[in-house]
Amino acid sequence: MNMQTLHSLLQDVQSGNCSIERALAHLRNFPGESVPDACLDHQRLIRTGIPEVIYGASKTAEQIVSIAEAMLKRGGPVIATRVEREKAEILLQKLPHFHYAGAARMLICNPAAEDPTRYLGRTLVISAGTSDIPVAEEARLTLESLGHPVDKLYDAGVAGIHRLLSRQQLLQQAKVIIVVAGMEGALPSVVGGLVSCPVIAVPTSVGYGASFGGIAALLGMLNSCAPGLAVVNIDNGFGAACMAEAINRK
Amino acid sequence: MNMQTLHSLLQDVQSGNCSIERALAHLRNFPGESVPDACLDHQRLIRTGIPEVIYGASKTAEQIVSIAEAMLKRGGPVIATRVEREKAEILLQKLPHFHYAGAARMLICNPAAEDPTRYLGRTLVISAGTSDIPVAEEARLTLESLGHPVDKLYDAGVAGIHRLLSRQQLLQQAKVIIVVAGMEGALPSVVGGLVSCPVIAVPTSVGYGASFGGIAALLGMLNSCAPGLAVVNIDNGFGAACMAEAINRK
Amino acid sequence: MNMQTLHSLLQDVQSGNCSIERALAHLRNFPGESVPDACLDHQRLIRTGIPEVIYGASKTAEQIVSIAEAMLKRGGPVIATRVEREKAEILLQKLPHFHYAGAARMLICNPAAEDPTRYLGRTLVISAGTSDIPVAEEARLTLESLGHPVDKLYDAGVAGIHRLLSRQQLLQQAKVIIVVAGMEGALPSVVGGLVSCPVIAVPTSVGYGASFGGIAALLGMLNSCAPGLAVVNIDNGFGAACMAEAINRK
Amino acid sequence: MNMQTLHSLLQDVQSGNCSIERALAHLRNFPGESVPDACLDHQRLIRTGIPEVIYGASKTAEQIVSIAEAMLKRGGPVIATRVEREKAEILLQKLPHFHYAGAARMLICNPAAEDPTRYLGRTLVISAGTSDIPVAEEARLTLESLGHPVDKLYDAGVAGIHRLLSRQQLLQQAKVIIVVAGMEGALPSVVGGLVSCPVIAVPTSVGYGASFGGIAALLGMLNSCAPGLAVVNIDNGFGAACMAEAINRK
Amino acid sequence: MNMQTLHSLLQDVQSGNCSIERALAHLRNFPGESVPDACLDHQRLIRTGIPEVIYGASKTAEQIVSIAEAMLKRGGPVIATRVEREKAEILLQKLPHFHYAGAARMLICNPAAEDPTRYLGRTLVISAGTSDIPVAEEARLTLESLGHPVDKLYDAGVAGIHRLLSRQQLLQQAKVIIVVAGMEGALPSVVGGLVSCPVIAVPTSVGYGASFGGIAALLGMLNSCAPGLAVVNIDNGFGAACMAEAINRK
Amino acid sequence: MNMQTLHSLLQDVQSGNCSIERALAHLRNFPGESVPDACLDHQRLIRTGIPEVIYGASKTAEQIVSIAEAMLKRGGPVIATRVEREKAEILLQKLPHFHYAGAARMLICNPAAEDPTRYLGRTLVISAGTSDIPVAEEARLTLESLGHPVDKLYDAGVAGIHRLLSRQQLLQQAKVIIVVAGMEGALPSVVGGLVSCPVIAVPTSVGYGASFGGIAALLGMLNSCAPGLAVVNIDNGFGAACMAEAINRK
Amino acid sequence: MNMQTLHSLLQDVQSGNCSIERALAHLRNFPGESVPDACLDHQRLIRTGIPEVIYGASKTAEQIVSIAEAMLKRGGPVIATRVEREKAEILLQKLPHFHYAGAARMLICNPAAEDPTRYLGRTLVISAGTSDIPVAEEARLTLESLGHPVDKLYDAGVAGIHRLLSRQQLLQQAKVIIVVAGMEGALPSVVGGLVSCPVIAVPTSVGYGASFGGIAALLGMLNSCAPGLAVVNIDNGFGAACMAEAINRK
Amino acid sequence: MNMQTLHSLLQDVQSGNCSIERALAHLRNFPGESVPDACLDHQRLIRTGIPEVIYGASKTAEQIVSIAEAMLKRGGPVIATRVEREKAEILLQKLPHFHYAGAARMLICNPAAEDPTRYLGRTLVISAGTSDIPVAEEARLTLESLGHPVDKLYDAGVAGIHRLLSRQQLLQQAKVIIVVAGMEGALPSVVGGLVSCPVIAVPTSVGYGASFGGIAALLGMLNSCAPGLAVVNIDNGFGAACMAEAINRK
């Protein structure tokens, strides 16, 4: 409902092509529609370029099913994140068209085909260690489901910096880089010092003791002295993918 | 020193066009040059697209002068951030070509002229309140100094949400949006729900009590449920500008 | 036992209508009565307008049963909060007159009928997301059990601000608004900027990573720059209801 | 701009009484007006019942003067909070009609006369200690400036609980109670257990060591087991006054 | 091994009543004796007046059995704290003379009979709520096992302050008071303001949300403005009992 | 106003020796008396054995003078803590009978003479380092002012444990020990393992970096595995003295 | 790939003994080799003297097996840390040559024989309590597996300081001391004050309440005033062993 | 006073060469000597290999002078750390033989000459940025004063990793490396992955916002996945030097 459509609507009211009641209905009902326990934001894809995604962690199986079914009617990819395996197995019985990606804890239906023409370039997802792969996969699969061209480079942490330096060509080719790291979270700083594209840093909760569930990595990334770097929430692979999509989409 | 230049160098060694000693010198001395108390990273602009900037907060006036003079010889814009007024006044006597932007606490020399042809679009800098303006100005002036096209929209916080909604056209036109907010830090979430371009959230230390010097705003932004949003350090207007530059530069 | 009753008691002592022993008994035993593992505060309803409620989280089933039975004798609604389903099923066998509201984890007996004549107006309970509904329901059911007129508006978070703005009439009609939100906790600020009635903000532990179990939402709400807003503990739907009751009761 | 005014506007467009351009202007410019460094929210008083107030802590003297002058033209009380004495003395030279209340660090102009007919009752402001008085005064003077009937009871902390219990009549007469306390912050719990009116708890930064600038008091108040109690930010006497105004205003 | 015994030992060496080897053995082996996985401190009772107690939380059942058996040989009461019910049931099969106090999670053998002649007076254990009873019982049973005269007053929190005030006689008679409280932890301040004996405050982890596992109560108690009050660790009923023992023992 | 005095008062009312008005006055005015900005607790000495002390940190010079003058009329020692030198010099002009102890930042008037007959024994104040002496002196001078017999042992930290072990006789003679330590705060644990008397641990804010203003020392002391030890707030030498007074006073 | 090998490689290229392609391959592929989900750092042993070790906590059984098998081919000891018993039992079926050390949660294969000739001296591992033994064992077994000469002294905490002082000979003989302690973490300070060799402090998560999972011990150790002491992460026995190996290896 | 000297002393007592009184004096007075406000630990150099150093931050100028003069009599280097310039200028008037190193805030007298024969090798001090130099200098000058051979490499942070990689020869030659870094603190991890000698990581308080005075760097270093690395307190260059001394001294 931008200035142009508002202008058109007003013109239609003025010309009599649209009754006052119908105009009011447009203005009143447009952005949201209430269903039990949720209010679907049909307009989000138009406004933000990214469809609504189901955050599965604190929803019941019933809530996820009813929201997913409503979204399926709308068309396009449907994604649910943070769905534990037990819950996923219950859901797959009611949502047989979905695929469950266990490492990333995601349920996906109707993924888009990769469409490089809609993007400025490719996104590269790097993980510091093997333990960080679930979060990296959440980012990679979200992008893949949206049709975003995406590469990966896993287990390339700073304690063996040569592993990263030997792959500089891959770094240089990316339009966006997502770096996923736990423990000290130093990898994004090193990557950020090597490339000119934007770097999205994702701290993970991998670690123990003074990692404090990812706080150490988060603080490390926020304090990075490398330019062109921003941070998302701990373990938020999905959010990093959304940022990459917003940057890279033409 | 990428794969291509390395290949060329090796060819020159093989063909005798380059002595081993000269090749070693290239490989050894290339990326950094030590000066007293600092090691200038001449290669950073090439690697990352963003020139080295002087972080003035914990450097002595002498250190800033010597680094700034070395950078001036290299050409291009020279920027020092977090320079308090007292220190700035001392520096301006030795660095007469610099301009001091007091609100942003920045010293600037040789700013580039705006060059829209090098960018995908314009960056919009939004501040939630009047008190957040110094951080917003650090972002805006950094971008301006690099020749980046930039607009501003100040004092548009969520407690008067109509101020923001009435300026939606400005929001829709931006290629990148930087949102600067202290206290509860809610503005980036609202903006992120309205636009499709990437949003860079900058928490500020504005506030008191349970704002904990910006932690409240930082946490709010990290937990935003809006898509396409990433966060930089508290009060880090400069870092947000670098991220915007990395995203928006063609 | 206010100044008036004290005056009367002293008069009765002076006139001989009350023996010293009886006066001492009044002054000594009045406010509480000890039962095993608890000391019921019979006077609380008179003092505060709100009956004692059983906090079920760290009590054994035996303790809850004995306290609930004592309260039932007193009459009026009896409420137990934070009773997990397993414990509830055990309790329902011994307390067959109770109803278990699973989403809100509450056991309720003898709820009062809605009585608008005792209140200044209606209370509106808003939840930011579907995941925040259990806390919102704890607030709503507590109010409903006390006979308090209450409405709800669920899943209206700031990332789709239009969902809220389209329901402004509902907001304007409320005498008190309870806003329940997790993650960044920005919704109360936006609501607080739209209405003139008091807003009670309830942070929830919904989220992950840097939400720190609700701290992010709590800090966001405490730092809100919207006027007419106060905060209760994380996930404390019950406490928000008590505040609403204290405000709205004539 | 509610449903009714929107309906009228559309009727005017339909009937030709309002041009499309004028309608667009209404819809676009209504809620805010930009001035240098600020965007005054003329509508706030109408929306929330509380006028905009100048938060003085991180504004320059110039910014405060220009905002205050704009507000004075609008009429009604003008209040600036958190203005340190040095800044206040500069401001008073340019804003001679203002009064500076040093204990509360407030600048006030055009305070309203007390008008009990507009309120349900009186608000009582209690401070736990002498050191908490500045915050209590910020609350009391804000209310007084709005014409709100207000009483005070200072230095009544829990280590001498008889001081409070001897004033129960004052407690029982209040329609709203604001309790200001630092250190352990226990006073609101005790007050909340004695009265039936809503209690607004204000933690203060008074204390040292493990008071952590008011965190101890804040946490104590958030965890209060007394019913009918909600909390505002540390040292936020102004916010408590706004909540009291929202509750008590007819 | 104080100055006197050292003097005697040296005299014996000088007089030839003690060989150098035997003196060395005394000086080397005296205070501790190594057994598998532990080094029993036989001297602790002599040095500190309190026997070693088994901290059961992070020991295996095997470790607890072997330490308990070694202690039993020494005589006197043997106490193990923080033994969960499952572990206790395994242990009781191997340690049949022990009694398991489930509420306090303690295993006790050979408790001493109450002996008022060894103490200055009685210790009173107060709990704020029913949920705090397990910690209060850990304190009470530890004292009881040592023969310490002890009374209790449970469920007397500040939200119903009359419950406490009506029992002032009990408070006045105590030589030491242990106050156990979770949530806001305000009770010790109120008690500390009413009595002249030392008050030991024990924060508990009872609560949720911003109680942060007892931090809120701990901070409240540390910041108490009541005189004659000191604090032990969260949930440390045992430590409070040791402090009471040290104070009250003649 | 205990049970006995209440009984007497009621008898007097019954017998006509006391009018109702006079009885009400007793019951109403007894515990506190309001003066400007403070409510003196005349009863505290009777109730708690410790006179009210002026916490000087956040009071103005005017407030301190008026409170001190009121206390002087009452007789007995008058103590003000946390009075910085600048403020003290102003105060000494108006309060010429006071002595300023600069190291401890205390103002003292009418100190009591040492009276061993009123105490069970002597209190020993130990400081870990030279930097902890100001807090240790606050404890020692408070005790001395009350007539409490007190010794000191300064600069005896754990990094040179022999300094402490060589003074065991002094340790064994104390009835109460106050241990003041910053940095890692390990000294109280070592002392607590050597003695049978109660140990009061006082963390100090001495240190830097991860000492976090005394948090490290505070946590170390709270987690001490030594028996018979309790903790007061960071830098709270005064509070430790009050606890020692409560323990040691006959 | 140091200066010497680079020089040789360039000479070989110049002399024609090495083709450009082969030189590029050396420079590109040297340090790492990608396998599924991991990138083994074959060079680490050469670079750092310590072989790669499998951090088992957040890896699946499949990932551990595939990495362990790849490492076994390389020869030398293979170690996996933080493998819980359930996971270990699954792994032992596929990795029959491994030994599971349950107390330390480690899987070990091909441990080296002790070789004192490669070390400057012996390392001593001290634990403060029985509960700290698992972490101490992780350190001890890691060293033992590398052939490092190692001794142990368990259960020697500060609350019974004589246990430690009686073993000073053992302390004096060590070349490196690892001190493992939870709760208040005071033991490293005491040890550090007694010896001249380097002390590596390992905080453990043993404790409850204000130990905050090891933070109290960590802070205590970081703030130690003993010289010659450094700290590793909470529960990081493995890291302490690596530091000892780096120090002690000739 | 180890086992051997104790044996000798006892022999002397047995043989009559030493009276009991003299033996007691040895055992009692040996390790420490009390002077006003301090207890000098004459034995520390013998016990730990490192002389006592004056921590100047919270001592008065008088205290520093008296301690320094006592140390000067003992001979050897005398060092005071954390002496601000203002205090240093006062001290230099009374301690004319001292030199003030302003960048490191140290006062030094009688530094030892470099003596490589007493050390296994050289220590290398690396700083990440120019702002970290003061802490690096505290480490370097401490070592230099003890006669320890030391090199430096300043301004070599991870955002320009080539600066470090180009100096690998310097890294490989060191026997111990001290890495000083603020902000994200990532440099020690990178260095630790490149070398086989022990690495001592020193976080600094350089940074702003979410660096939280060095916490971010500290946590990053504690969570480093590089082997052979341990950490000292924030800004503790002196402590790092002591650890290097303990490691490197023969």
Chain B residues inside the 8 Å CB shell of C222: 209-210, 216
Of B29 and C209, more confident: C209
- Minimal CA–CA distance to G244: which of G77, G125, G127? G125
Per DSSP, the residues of E76-134 read S-EEEES--HHHHHHHHHH-TT-EEETTTTEEEESPPPP-GGGBSS-EEEEESSGGGHH
- Token pair of B35, please? 């000066």
Tens digits of residue pLDDT in F64-77: 998 898 888 877 89
Lowest-pLDDT choice from C239-243, D209-213, E161-165: E161-165
Report for A5-9, A74-78, B157-161, C176-180: range of highest mean pLDDT? C176-180
Partner-chain residue, chosen from F184, F210, F227, that has the shortest CB–CB distance to G189: F184
Q: Does D217 touch chain E (CB under 8 A)?
A: yes
pLDDT (0 to 100) of residue C102: 92
Of B115 and B37, more confident: B115
pLDDT (0 to 100) of residue B127: 95
Rounded Cα gap, residues C144 and C142, in angstroms: 6
Number of Cβ atoms within 10 Å of the Cβ of G62:
13
- Minimal CA–CA distance to C154: which of C173, C179, C175? C179
Helix or strand holding residue F33 (H, E):
strand F33-35
Strands in C86-166 per DSSP E = 99-101, 106-109, 123-127, 150-153
pLDDT (0 to 100) of residue D248: 97
Residue H23 has pLDDT above 70, yes or no: no
Q: Report the share of chain E in percent with pLDDT over 70.
A: 87
Of C58 and G81, more confident: G81
Per DSSP, the residues of chain D read --HHHHHHHHHHHHHTSS-HHHHHHHHHHSS-EEETTEEE-TTHHHHHSS---EE-TTS-HHHHHHHHHHHHHH-S-EEEES--HHHHHHHHHH-TT-EEETTTTEEEESPPPP-GGGBSS-EEEEESSGGGHHHHHHHHHHHHHTT--EEEE-S--GGGHHHHHTTHHHHHH-SEEEEEE-TT--HHHHHHTT-SS-EEEEE-----GGGGGGHHHHHHHHT--SSSEEE--TT-HHHHHHHHHHHHB-
Cβ within 8 Å of residue H150, ≥6 positions away: H122, H123, H124, H125, H140, H143, H144
pLDDT band of residue G2 (cuts 50, 70, 90) is very low
List of chains touching H (3+ CB pairs within 8 A): A, B, E, F, G
Tens digits of residue pLDDT in H171-188: 999 999 999 999 989 999
Supply φ then ψ for residue H190, to 5 degrees.
-65, -45
Which residues, in sequence order, are bridge partners of residue A201? A179, A231
Residue G34 has pLDDT above 60, yes or no: no
Can you tell me the mean pLDDT for D200-204? 97
CB atoms F161 and G185 under 8 Å:
no
Q: What is the pTM of this model?
A: 0.87
Report the mean per-residue pLDDT for chain E: 87
Rounded Cα gap, residues E234 and E182, in angstroms: 9
Vertex H152 angle, CA H148 and H153, to 5°? 160
Residue of D nearest to F28 (CA): D166
Tens digits of residue pLDDT in G92-117: 999 999 999 999 999 999 999 999 99
Distance of CA D171 to the CA centre of its chain: 21
Rounded Cα gap, residues C134 and E20, in angstroms: 75
Task: Return the sign of the alpha-carbon dihedral for residues D62, D65, D67, D69.
Answer: negative
pLDDT (0 to 100) of residue G31: 42
Of H158 and E137, more confident: E137
CB atoms C158 and B185 under 8 Å:
no
Q: Does C151 touch chain A (CB under 8 A)?
A: no
Task: Return the sign of the alpha-carbon dihedral for residues H164, H169, H172, H176.
Answer: negative
Can you tell me the mean pLDDT for A144-165? 89
Residue G29 has pLDDT above 70, yes or no: no
- Minimal CA–CA distance to E1: which of G162, F191, G167? G162
Per DSSP, the residues of chain B read --HHHHHHHHHHHHHTSS-HHHHHHHHHHSS-EEETTEEE-TTHHHHHSS---EE-TTS-HHHHHHHHHHHHHH-S-EEEES--HHHHHHHHHH-TT-EEETTTTEEEESPPPP-GGGBSS-EEEEESSGGGHHHHHHHHHHHHHTT--EEEE-S--GGGHHHHHTTHHHHHH-SEEEEEE-TT--HHHHHHTT-SS-EEEEE-----GGGGGGHHHHHHHHT--SSSEEE--TT-HHHHHHHHHHHHB-
pLDDT (0 to 100) of residue C161: 81
pLDDT (0 to 100) of residue E39: 66
pLDDT (0 to 100) of residue D162: 78
The yes-or-no reply on E/B contact (3 CB pairs or more, < 8 Å) is no
- Token pair of G13, please? 């290229």
How many CB pairs below 8 Å do chains F and G form together? 120
- Residue F167 identity (one-letter amino acid): R
Q: Are G169 and E52 in contact (CB under 8 A)?
A: no
Helices (H) and strands (E) in chain H, counts: 11, 11
Give burial (CB, 10 Å; 0-12/13-18/19+) of E186.
buried
CB atoms D30 and B162 under 8 Å:
yes
- Token pair of C23, please? 């006066």
Compute the nearest-CA separation of D237 from chain C (Å). Answer: 12
pLDDT tens sequence for chain C (250 residues) = 444 556 677 778 778 888 776 665 555 434 444 556 666 665 676 677 788 889 998 888 888 998 898 888 877 899 999 999 999 999 999 999 999 999 999 999 999 999 999 999 999 999 999 999 999 999 999 999 999 999 999 998 887 787 788 788 889 999 999 999 999 899 999 999 889 999 999 999 999 999 999 999 999 999 998 889 999 999 999 999 999 999 999 9
| 3-class DSSP assignment, residue G75 | coil
pLDDT band of residue E12 (cuts 50, 70, 90) is confident
Report for B133-137, E5-9, E208-212, H36-40: range of highest mean pLDDT? B133-137
Chain H residues inside the 8 Å CB shell of F154: 37-39
List of chains touching D (3+ CB pairs within 8 A): A, B, C, E, F
Residue E148 has pLDDT above 70, yes or no: yes
- Minimal CA–CA distance to D64: which of D38, D102, D28, D34? D38
> Any idea which residue has 């990433």 for tokens?
B230
Cβ within 8 Å of residue G133, ≥6 positions away: E37, G103, G127, G154
Of H15 and F150, more confident: F150
Residue of C nearest to F5 (CA): C24
Compute the nearest-CA separation of A240 from chain B (Å). Answer: 8
Residue D57 has pLDDT above 50, yes or no: yes
Which residues, in sequence order, are bridge partners of residue F54? F80
pLDDT (0 to 100) of residue C33: 46
* Order of all β-strands in the sheet with G106-109: G54-55, G78-81, G106-109, G99-101
Helices (H) and strands (E) in chain G, counts: 11, 11
CB atoms A184 and H224 under 8 Å:
yes
Q: Does F124 touch chain E (CB under 8 A)?
A: no
Report the mean per-residue pLDDT for chain C: 87
Can you tell me the mean pLDDT for F125-142? 95
Which residues, in sequence order, are bridge partners of residue G109? G78
pLDDT (0 to 100) of residue G24: 59
Rounded Cα gap, residues G213 and H114, in angstroms: 44
Supply φ then ψ for residue D150, to 5 degrees.
-145, 140
Residue H1 has pLDDT above 50, yes or no: no
How many CB pairs below 8 Å do chains A and C form together? 65
Q: Does D51 touch chain E (CB under 8 A)?
A: no
pLDDT (0 to 100) of residue B50: 82
Report the mean per-residue pLDDT for chain F: 87
- Token pair of D249, please? 């205003």
pLDDT (0 to 100) of residue C140: 98
Rounded Cα gap, residues D209 and D205, in angstroms: 11
Q: Report the share of chain D in percent with pLDDT over 90.
A: 59
Residue A107 has pLDDT above 50, yes or no: yes
pLDDT (0 to 100) of residue F169: 84
CB atoms F14 and C11 under 8 Å:
no
CA dist E77 → A147, E98, E147, F228 (Å)? 71, 10, 10, 17
Partner-chain residue, chosen from C133, C163, C210, that has the shortest CB–CB distance to A32: C163
Chain A residues inside the 8 Å CB shell of C235: none
Compute the nearest-CA separation of E227 from chain F (Å). Answer: 6
Cβ within 8 Å of residue F218, ≥6 positions away: D209, D210, E222, F185, F203, F231, F234
Residue F41 has pLDDT above 80, yes or no: no
Q: Does B31 touch chain H (CB under 8 A)?
A: yes
Give burial (CB, 10 Å; 0-12/13-18/19+) of H226.
buried
Residue of D nearest to F32 (CA): D163
Chain C residues inside the 8 Å CB shell of A67: 130
Of G217 and D21, more confident: G217
Residue F138 has pLDDT above 70, yes or no: yes
Q: Does B226 touch chain A (CB under 8 A)?
A: yes
Vertex B83 angle, CA B79 and B87, to 5°? 120
pLDDT band of residue D237 (cuts 50, 70, 90) is very high
Residue H47 has pLDDT above 90, yes or no: no
Rounded Cα gap, residues A213 and A192, in angstroms: 24
pLDDT (0 to 100) of residue G13: 77
| 3-class DSSP assignment, residue G201 | strand
Compute the nearest-CA separation of H113 from chain B (Å). Answer: 25
pLDDT (0 to 100) of residue G27: 52
Chain D residues inside the 8 Å CB shell of B216: none
Residue E136 has pLDDT above 60, yes or no: yes
pLDDT band of residue D124 (cuts 50, 70, 90) is very high
CB atoms C160 and A30 under 8 Å:
no
Per DSSP, the residues of H58-93 read TS-HHHHHHHHHHHHHH-S-EEEES--HHHHHHHHH
Residue B29 has pLDDT above 50, yes or no: no
Lowest-pLDDT choice from A57-66, B28-37, E173-182, H129-138: B28-37
Q: Does D185 touch chain E (CB under 8 A)?
A: yes
Rounded Cα gap, residues E139 and E143, in angstroms: 6
Lowest-pLDDT choice from A41-55, A231-245, G52-66, H111-125: A41-55
Residue B33 has pLDDT above 60, yes or no: no
Residue H28 has pLDDT above 60, yes or no: no
Q: Does B67 touch chain H (CB under 8 A)?
A: yes
| Prediction ipTM score | 0.85
Tens digits of residue pLDDT in H205-228: 999 999 999 999 999 999 998 889
- Token pair of A236, please? 């938020």
